[in-house]
Each structure stands twice: as structure tokens, then as C-alpha cells.
A and B are shown apart, each in its own frame.
Chain A
């Protein structure tokens, strides 16, 4: 739940959200043109940025007043638009979040192995990340977040480098995380079809404003806002 949240860089206000509620356990698709503020919204939600004004509430509590901060941070995981992998092997990268949490060795091994298998990277386990292709790197970044079994999963265009088969695999993983574990997923995507397939609700961002949000089916069938309408049609043509 966001209340009166704004984010200003220098003198430029890049995001203003009067009120936005993102229900737990659902998949929320965030859409909008380039530069609209989608990534900024994610950076606010995962606490990498603090709002210039306003509050972000998680289960009724202001996230930026929550102490210890780390405890809340560890309930979330993010896949960035441009994922950065740490120098080392695929295994090391996927194990990172578990290691910093002090999880024990055998448990790490099991979880990492299972997750790598789930994203189809089990053969690349010992590979150094420098040698990976773009799509493989993106799947490592996804595995690195999924292995943490977070309560909230923030994904910024996570399928931009994937082939159709891996997109389908990814969507299945998201769906099962959401339905089986009750994970709240916030998914930034440019792909209208993907949003339709995955999202329970969609949020349209335009020039830093939320111009429309609501249940996915309704928004896609009859968008109220002209800009949303144009975006949906534009995306469906190209």
C-alpha cells in the first residue's frame, strides 16, 4: 500500500502516487511507456530508495520506519532490469542470498540445486558467470531471487532476454510461486500478453503517475484511460 508517495531526483519529480494498494499473494503487472517511473516504483518498494514524501506500508507498517530494516529487506527479493551477477560461478551467485542469511551448507546445496534445476540451468552450475549468454544470465538472476522463497518478489522486465520456451518456463515458475507459496509478485513488463497471462491486477504508469489500476481482466477489456487504451493497442500491434 502506497500513500501519497513522491520521488524527486534533484528538482525533477519522477513519481507521484496518491494511493496504490497491492494486495498480498497476487501477481501485479506494472506497465507503461519507457521512462514512466516503473523501475523507480520498484526501487521504492524494495527500499533501495526512500520516498521524498509519503509512506509505503507493508502489512500496515511504514517500511522505512521498520526496525530492523534488514529483517524486512530479507522478505523481499528483486530481479533488476539489468541484472548484475557477482564474479564467480553460477552456483555462487544463486547461493549468495542464502549464505548472507547464514543458512547451513547442506541446506544451501539442496536449495540451490533444486532451483537451478527449476530454471533449467543445472548443467551450468560450475560455469563462471562471465561466460554466460544474456538469457542464461537472466535466468541466474531469477534463480538467485527465487531460491530465497521471498514473501514479495519484485521483477523488472525479467523476460526481456529470454526465448519463448524460457518465457513459458518463467511464467510457470511465477504462477506456482504465487499460487503455492502465496508470494506477492510485482512484475514490470512491456508485454501486454504476458501481463494478461500472469497478472491478477495491472497498474498503468504514465509520466510518473498511476493513470489506471485494477483487476487485469477488467482493465484489458475496457480501459478507462485514453493513455492506457493507446498503450494496450500500440503494444498489441507491435
Chain B
């Protein structure tokens, strides 16, 4: 435990590299998931529920999908025999970004949809009656639902950061290249290298705390 702490405090280079890669991969994944998920969720949320029953059902299913299934799917798509095999993405950080994006996007889209639905009608009527065009109406609805949408993005980031199985499958946990915090913890624990595992665990915990503290503040600021 003390040694784990020493590793963190001394900023062990191998550990720093792993943390930095984790942040890059998950950061990029959540960015892509937000760029796709927020418009998608808003669009779905603004349509009558019965007209988007199927897309909504699919998103809800993907929200709870076991990550290894997503890993398998991405693996099949980008492995050398797969349709995107020529891109040579397997066991690269890009592959991990793809897998994490696929895990986070349904969360962002699904929670955005729920946030938008319900209050969208009166907001939309008001915006339309004041002369807003389609795009302006959508932006207004997103703005009004922003607290919940930020929550959706944070939840998506949480899933991306915490994810092990899919990243392991498509990234390969290659030292110095595709080893991220979660896969490193699995490996180091198996090796009996508990200082490193605990150290990374503490960093993950701290990150989770930080993200939630940020969210809490954001919601506090807009709801006071």
C-alpha cells in the first residue's frame, strides 16, 4: 500500500505513460460519443415516442450491452479478415477508441433522449412561436437540457474509463502501446505486482471522484 502510494507520488514513468494513454483514449472516445450521441439523442427525444420506438429500444439494449460483446464486434470488423481489415487497426489505440466510443455513445444518446423528452414540447413550441428555425429550436432544447446532457456525457466517460474487456480484446494490452489503467490492473494483479495495481486503482478512484465532483458543481451552479 505504501509502495503503491510511492509509485503514484514519484510519478513512475511507466505508470504515467499508462495513465496518459488511458486519458487520451477515453477522452477522444467520449468526445466522439458526445458529438454523435448528443445530436442523435436530441433528434430522437424531439420525435414522438411511438415513432422512434425501435431506435430507442436498440439504444437501450446497447446501453446495457456487455463490453466484451462490443469488443468481439469491433474485433471482427477490424481484424485482418474483417471489412475494415486493410486499415490495420487491430491492437492499436485507435481500435480502443472505436470500442470505447461504441460503448459510450449509446449511454450519451440514451440519457440525452430521456433528458430532452418531456420538456421538449413546451420549449419547442415557445421557440417556434418566437421564430426559431429547426436548427435554432434544437439548440434551444439542448441548452435547456444541458445539465442532464452533461450528466449523460459524464456517465459515458465513466463507462469508457472503467471498461476492461473490450479494450483488452481489440487493444491487446501491449506494454507501452495499448496498455491502459484497467488492463494494467488486471495484468499486474495476476502477476502479483500489487503496488502497481493498487497505485493505478487509486488514480482511477481519484479520477472518478474528480469527474463526479465536477458534475456536482456544474449541476449546483445551474440549479441554485
Query: Bound pair: A and B?
Result: yes
Q: Within the complex, which residue of B123, B131, B136, B222 is in contact with A84, where a contact is CB–CB below 8 Å?
A: B123
Chain B residues in 8 Å Cβ range of A46: 129
A residues 21-64 in Cβ contact with B at 8 Å? 46, 48
Interface mask (B29-40 → A, CB under 8 Å = 1, otherwise 0) = 000000000000
Chain A residue at smallest Cβ distance from B147:
A87
Q: Is B140 touching A86 in the complex (CB atoms < 8 A)?
A: yes
Q: A84-B122, A87-B222, A100-B136 are in contact. Are A70 and B144 (CB under 8 A)?
A: no
Size bracket of the A interface: 20 to 34
How long is the Cα–Cα vector from A86 to B137 in the complex, in angstroms? 12
Residues of A within 8 A of B122 (CB): 80, 82, 84
Judged by a CB distance under 8 angstroms, whether A97 is at the interface is: yes
Chain B contact-residue range equals 10 to 19
Interface of B is mostly: helix
Greatest chain A CB density within 10 A among B123, B130, B132, B136 is at: B130
Interface-lining segment among A71-79, A161-169, A179-187, A202-210: A71-79
Which B positions have Cβ atoms within 8 angstroms of A?
122-123, 125-133, 136, 140, 143-144, 222
Q: In the assembled complex, which residues on chain B have CB atoms less than 8 Å from the CB atom of A100?
A: 127, 130-133, 136
Chain A residues within 8 Å of B, Cβ to Cβ? 46, 48, 70, 73-74, 76-78, 80, 82-84, 86-87, 96-97, 100-101, 144-145, 148
Q: Is the CB of B125 within 8 A of A48?
A: yes
A46→B144 CA distance, assembly (Å): 23
Interface contacts beyond A86-B140, A97-B131: sample of 17 additional A-B pairs, CB < 8 Å, sorted by A:
A48-B128, A70-B131, A73-B128, A76-B129, A80-B122, A80-B125, A80-B126, A84-B125, A86-B126, A86-B144, A87-B144, A87-B222, A96-B130, A100-B127, A100-B133, A100-B136, A101-B131
